[in-house]
Amino acid sequence: MALVTVTDPARDYLAQLIEKQDVEGMGVRIFVTQPGTKNAETCLAYCPPNEIVPTDEQIDLEKFTLYLDHNSVPFLEEAYVDYSKDQMGGQLTIKAPNAKVPNVDENAPLPDRVNYVLASEINPNLAAHGGDVSLVEIVDESVAVLRFGGGCQGCSAVSLTLKQGVEKTLKDRVPEITSVRDVTDHTQTENAYYQ
């Protein structure tokens, strides 16, 4: 069973929305579009009884049933749904840290663990500058060969990002990694964040 946390305020808010639909047995489905990619998005949708899929996992939240899309389950581990009131009414927040890459454990192959850290920790930070980094290969059993893209390609600060950000994080999270190597062609600077 995927571990999805729905806070009490989120459950109450969703229950109010469902009640307004006036459909007996209405639930909510949580799913990930484009799971396992950098474009993954976690979504909630009404789930009337005639749209229940037999392979979905079900979580009884007392006021309604939450249906977990079967194909999304590995990407919904540690998902968190919350609602907080604010001056504009309120905001429903869905966080799914494993939507882009399913969570891996310490026994997973080295490239999978490196890709997980890149997708879940490093790329979200690089995205603020329109950049990203991907694993090309692992060489010498401990060197991660990386390629930067977007705003990182040709960026004048990429060596600082590589050593103090990417390498440090990878070595902390994946102890088998001893260093990183950048194979990006940084002569292409048209998208660089810092020129």
Is residue 122 within 8 Å of residue 161, measured between CB atoms? no
Q: What DSSP designation does 69 have?
A: P
DSSP character at residue 74? G
How many angstroms separate the CA atoms of 30 and 22, rounded? 20
Q: Is 109 exposed, middle or buried (0-12, 13-18, 19+ CB in 10 A)?
A: exposed
Q: Is 152 annotated as a binding residue?
A: yes
Q: Record the tokens describing residue 61, joined without a space.
A: 């939240």
Length of the chain equals 195
Angle at CA of residue 95, ends 25 and 27, nearest 5°: 5
Q: Which amino acid is at 86?
A: D
To the question of whether residue 47 is assigned a binding role by annotation, the answer is: no
Annotated binding site: which residue ranges? 152, 155
Mark the binding-site residues for [4Fe-4S] cluster, compressed into ranges: 152, 155
